[in-house]
Structure formats: structure tokens, C-alpha cells
Amino acid sequence: MGVLSLPTAGLSEQSLEAAIHKFLRRDAFEPSTRKAYARTLNTFAGVVGSQKLVATVTTENIEDVLESKWGSTAATTYNRHRAALLSFFRWCVDRGWVVVNPVKIVEARKVRRRSEDAKRERPISREMLNQLWALDVPVRDKLLWRMAYETWARAEEMLGLDVKDLDAGNREGQVNGKGGDVQTVWWATGTARFLPRVLGGRGSGPVFIASRAPLREMPLTDLDPTTGRARLSYRQAERGFSEAGLRIDPGGPAWTMHRLRHSGIAHAVEDGWNLASVRAKSRHSSLRSLEVYANPSAESIAAMTAALDPEARRR
């Protein structure tokens, strides 16, 4: 691709640092958008130099930064950073600081369309789940994983649980669901078996706590008053589950806590529960939003095909 060098005579001598500051302070952005743009633009300025004049930025500069910083990322990620730079320099053109947008001729990467099957996150097989339950890991992790599979709760909902939110006798708890609504989740025997061992008689504080005391000050609502330990973080929980997945299925797709939710829903559908009941337990707003989760395993589809075989002598 050719390099677009721009004439600079007569243009305002705005540095990247000053222009980025003016661009981001506008009221045109939502907070999340402003943060995303700031990360991209500050990274770009850090590479080419924050005092470089915006009028002297070339297409080659843009291509070099995009390739060095985001060249190995997914096409959608690469395109998102390109779009942020494109928007910024378009604004600079409108202000008269740049003649032509240097990002304009940088091609966006082609996003490959995935098949409908590829879009669906495959559930963890029951055989692998049995291996997961049998792993020699801390009982806290066993409880978290069983609760995710049995309640179909989201990871952040479970990690936000306090002891006072639980009704162990009725095997139910109150979580802060999407939108901040308090919602009920129910668990089964696996969770009920591990819960007393994890709580250890604690009557307040977070249900899931870290293995060590925090190294910095934490909000009191995230501290266990008995042990002084902090609420288990999402990152710690995901890392522990990912490591378990590598032990059981090293060559397979990444294991995330969300896959346990997927698996619980998919297995219920395989077992014949109607979608109305599954929707109620999963707390989805509509049956349509449930479709991607109600994703039978390959083994289940094979078994169904065999059962529907008109030539089969025994059903």
C-alpha cells in the first residue's frame, strides 16, 4: 500500500497530545466509548510520539502502529482500533488541522463469517464434567463449579453472593441479576454437599473468598469479617477453571465459567425439559435469547439420529 504524505503548510501546529485531549473532552462520547478511544489514541501517540504534529502523521505511521500493536489480534479487534483512529483524524480534518485523513486508505480486515454451529459454544460433555468433579482441587472451587452447573447462574452473580443471601434449607439463593434485579437461583445435591464445608460456620461476608489476605485496602463489603480475606475475583475464578480445563481437555476449546452455564442448560434440553421451564430457570427474557444456549452436544445429536433411524429393529 502506498504512503500518503500530507502537505503541512499553513496548517495549525497541533501536537497529537493536544489534539487527543481536545478530541476526548467533547460531550459526544459515552464514558465507555471515551475510554476505548483513549486507549487506542494514547497507544498510538506513545509509539509515534505525543509531540508529533497531527499534520505530519502519515499512512505509514498508522499502518506500522496497527500492525505492531494489534496485527496479531482478531480482525474485529484490529478494525475497532482502526475505526478509533479513523474517527479521530476525520475530526482533525474537520478542524482544519489535517488536509486528508491518513487512515482512510488503510484497509479494514475482513471478518470471516462463522457458521451458525461455530457461533454456538459447545457444552462440556457429561464425561468431562465427571472428571471435573473428581479433580483434586480446593473445596471452594468444587463448590463454585457445581453451583455454576446446577444453578445456571453467571459467574459474577455467584461471586457476588454473601452468606446472608443463601437459604441452605431450601437450596436457593438471591443473586443480583442483569439490570440489578434480585433474582432467585436453585441448586442441587452437589452444591448442597460442599456448601457447609466452604462456609465453615461463617454467618456473614462473601461466600467465595480468596486463598490469601488482600495486599491492598478493600471495601468492607468485599471482606470476610472472620478471616479478613477478600471476595474471590472474577479473574481468579476464571484462571482456576481454565487450568482445570487444560488438565482434562488440553487440546479442546478454552474452558470458561460461562461454559458451565451453557452446559447445564444444554443438558437439561437434552434430557427433555421444555424450553419454557428452561427459560424460567435460566432467567432469560425470551425463548429467542435462549436459542444459543440450548445447544445439544454432538453425542446427543448422534444418539437422536440413531433413535430416529427407521431401519432400527429395537427402539
The tens-digit pLDDT sequence of the chain (315 residues) is 444 444 444 456 899 999 999 999 988 778 888 888 999 999 999 999 999 999 999 999 999 999 999 988 888 889 999 999 999 999 999 999 999 999 999 999 887 665 444 445 678 999 999 999 999 999 999 999 999 999 999 999 999 999 999 999 999 999 988 777 899 999 999 999 999 999 998 999 999 999 888 888 888 889 999 889 999 999 999 999 999 999 999 888 889 998 999 899 989 888 888 888 888 898 887 777 676 656 666 677 777 788 777 776 555
CATH class as words, domain 16-95? mainly alpha
pTM of the complete model:
0.59
Domain 119-299 is classified in which CATH homologous superfamily?
Answer: Intergrase catalytic core (1.10.443.10)
Cell of 110: 475482513
Q: How far apart are CA 310 and CA 208, in angstroms?
A: 51
Q: How far apart are CA 150 and CA 279, in angstroms?
A: 14
Domain ranges of the chain: 16-95, 119-299
Q: How far apart are CA 238 and CA 258, in angstroms?
A: 9
Cα distances (angstroms) measured from residue 115 to each of 118, 120, 154, 238, 305: 5, 9, 26, 27, 21
